[in-house]
Structures are given as structure tokens and as C-alpha cells.
Amino acid sequence: MRIVSAAGAFPKNTYSQEAITVALGRFWNKGLENPELLSRLHSRCGVEQRHLVLPLEVYKQVETWGEANNLWIDAAQELGMTAICRAIAPHGIAPGDLDALYFVSVTGIASPSVDARLVNRMGLSPNIKRVPIFGLGCVAGAAGIARAADYVRAFPDQIAVLLSVELCSLTWRRDDFSLANFISSGLFGDGAAAVVIAGSETKFAGPEIIATRSVFYPGSEDVMGWDISEKGFRIVLSPDVPQVIQDHLRGDVDSFLSDNSLSRNDIASWIIHTGGPKVLQAVEEALELPERALEASWDCLRRVGNLSSASVLVVLEEFLAKRRGAPGTYSLLAAMGPGFCSELVLLRW
């Protein structure tokens, strides 16, 4: 099982963090008692710019969840198609060659799902196996790779693609003045990413997927997620997230690596989702990582923000393009998300 490629796709609207903060201050002007609070929170998110699916001035025109979700359906198809094409074209893979399509998102819903709509738009095989997954949030990028790896392990002559589309700005709600919403509005961006995973009997090269592990933390449902009502998505984001990482991640990683006759010292690079400054700091401390070990994650956070499930895939794209490991070295790809849970993927270059 090998990761052949990863490719991102982003909306054309790009704004500085400062411009977004000013626009959201106007968006929430009736309920924002302290405008300085929003500015202070956004300045601490580690984000310099983000891509948004709509021009900033248009968000005030989106009045209902239904309108926002329809925008999500249309944009998810466009960005998803672009991401998949960018991932497969350099390797001579045609859309009709794909055997399985895993689609992950937590910022919109559709039935038929986006993957089904792409079958017609892209000329995918009518026999393609589709697996839409909703609700995993930030962990879904790593989980999607793991599930696609399971598939090509069973069908080693086949090719699977994982597609993530997250349009976080379409979940902004003008009636939510919670601290969690102010933080998330400064952290999350819009974008898509696709990853191609090929079985061992195909001709494709790339880092080998050695093993994967899912870890669920019982009793942690209230740490992260959405409260969903007729008004749409309302962010649930506990300040306990970094502490959960501190409490669990080291033991989970050590156990996983030990089962593969490895230790943290054997890992040459760490491909970690861009959860935000406190999350990345918690990962660094929990795993006792050397300085700059998460440089790629910090850089992606600055450039595009937290893309939820697409975050770790964009970091993976950075490694495949500019930071490939020496042959035989190991990388650990990891993400965490609602549940609360973590997903670990061991790679060998």
C-alpha cells in the first residue's frame, strides 16, 4: 500500500487574517460587546491568511442554513474535482481508473453525496465504490487514509482516492457570540485535498503505509464537534483539547510504534494536522519533539489556517513535494478530532 500523491485545491478568495477580523467585527456588530476581544483572539491563532469560498462582503447575504448548505454542495464539487484532477493527472491516472472514492467532510451535507455527484461530472467508473464519511472533523484526513489503505490491502491491484472538502466559513453564524465561535472563526479556513492510495500490485511508487491505528477516548464527546439545529452548525470547542492530547498522545504513539518494533527515535518526520497553536504545542510537548519538528504544520497553519479534515492532507502534500524522507526512513502521520479520538498512520519512504 502506497501513497502516490496528494494535492490541495483552494477557493480564489484569499484574505489576510486582519481583513477577516475586521469583516467579522461588522458581521457580528450587534452582539459583539467587546470588538477588541475578537481581534485579540484572532491574533493568537497563528494564521496569517486564509482562503474563503465567498467574497467577505457576501457572507452577510447568506441568511439560512439551507442557503449555506447549497453553496457548500456547489463549491464542494468544484473544489473536489480540482483536487482529484491535480492528484491523479501527474501520474497518468484517468478518472475512470479509480476503483474507490472516500469522501470526508464535516461542514455540509448532501444526498446524493458529493462523491456521487462527481461520478457524473468527472466521468468516474459507474462501478466505483463510494464511501462518504461525515462527522469525524479534523481526524478524518488521517482516518480516510487509513480506511482507503484497508481497501487496497484487500484489493492490492486497485487504486483508491480520498477526497476532503471543508468550507468552514459557511458555518459562521451571526447569532453565535460564544468564545468558541470567535476562536474558530479566526482559525478555520476553506479548502480541499485529495490523496491517491494504491495497492501493492500496482505500478505506482510512494511512501509505504506500514500500519494504522484508531484510538477512541471514552467519555470525551463534549470536547469537540457541532451542535446541529434548524439554524445550522454551532461549534463545540472545549479548552480541554490540548490537555486531552497531553494526557493521551504520547502513550498512544509509543504503544503503536512499539507494536511495529519502533520508537519515537526511529521517526524521521512528523506529519501532524494543523489544529492550532495550542494543539501543535501540546503535540510537541507530549511527544518531546525537537525544535522545528513540526515546521511544515506551523507553516501550513500560517498560510491556510486549520482546514479540519483537509489539514493533515495539505501537510502531507508539503512533505511529498518538498520534504520527502530518505529511502527507508519513517514518518508518522497523525490527526485528532471529535469523539474525541486520534488516528495514526505509519509511513516508510
Beta strands in 120-231 (DSSP E): 129-134, 159-167, 190-198, 208-216, 224-229
Which of these is catalytic: 45, 138, 300, 341?
Answer: 138
DSSP characters for 245-296?
HHHHHHHHHHHHHHHTT--GGGEEEEEE----HHHHHHHHHHHTPPTTTTHH
CB proximity list for 180: less than 8 A, separation 6 or greater: 235, 236, 237, 238
138 is catalytic: yes
Report d(CA 163, CA 77) in Å as an integer.
11
Q: From the CB of residue 65, how many other CB atoms can be counted at a distance below 10 Å?
A: 18
Report d(CA 16, CA 191) in Å as an integer.
16
Nearest residue to 194 (alpha-carbon basis) of 318, 83, 117, 118: 83
Contact indicator for 102, 149 with CB cutoff of 8 Å: no
Contact indicator for 17, 219 with CB cutoff of 8 Å: no
By the 10 Å C-beta count (0-12 exposed, 13-18 middle, 19+ buried), 184 is classed as: buried
- Backbone φ and ψ of 36, nearest 5°: -65, -30
Can the peptide bond before residue 182 be classed as cis, meaning omega within 30 degrees of 0?
A: no
Report d(CA 148, CA 340) in Å as an integer.
21
Q: Which residues are catalytic?
A: 138
